Amino acid sequence: MNDELQNLLHRWREGSLTADEMRTLTALLAKPEARQVLRRDWFLEAALPEALAASAVIVRTPQPSLAAKLRGWIAGWLTACAPRASHEEDAALWALRLWARTSFAALAVGLVTSAWLAWPQREEIATETDTEPAYFAQLMLETQLPDSP
């Protein structure tokens, strides 16, 4: 579309056309080519949301099973621990990978252990409340009769 026509149509939609620009727009739209381009653009704007909504298709890629993920993880560990070529760079890279994996495993074990130790155990909570029936009776009396001695 003509850039001038495009600009004038945009300003017309906004409502900021002057009288001279409105006359220019009318003169441009008097040509059949400009009207045809305008109709094509309007049809495109109207049909585009419908076409996009109709073409929205979810493509599902098959995910590997848990067994396949586990096999891949074990294969990765085995290839990391396998002997490499005699190049010093490969040995250094192998040592860095091994150190990174072991430090990550140690961090994971440490986090799980600290979370396990910090988490209150269910038996401890149950024993505190079950061994004190007198505490519950006293609490019930205090809430029912707050002014009594």
- Residue 109: the pLDDT is 92
Q: What is the pLDDT of residue 80?
A: 66
d(Cα 49, Cα 58) in Å, to the nearest integer? 17
**Secondary structure of the chain in the HEC alphabet?**
CCHHHHHHHHHHHHCCCCHHHHHHHHHHHCCHHHHHHHHHHHHHHHHHHHHHHHCCCCCCCCCCCHHHHHHHHHHHHHHHHCCCCCCHHHHHHHHHHHHHHHHHHHHHHHHHHHHHHHCCCHHHHHHHHHCCHHHHHHHHHHHHCCCCC
Predicted local confidence at residue 34, as pLDDT? 82
d(CA 59, CA 2): 39
pTM, two decimals, is 0.31
Residues in the chain: 149
The domain locations on the chain are: 3-54, 66-107
| pLDDT one-digit tens code per residue, 55-79 | 655 556 778 888 888 888 887 777 7
Which residues of the chain are modeled with pLDDT < 50? none
Q: How far apart are CA 118 and CA 75, in angstroms?
A: 35
| Contact (CB, 8 A) for 31 and 37 | no
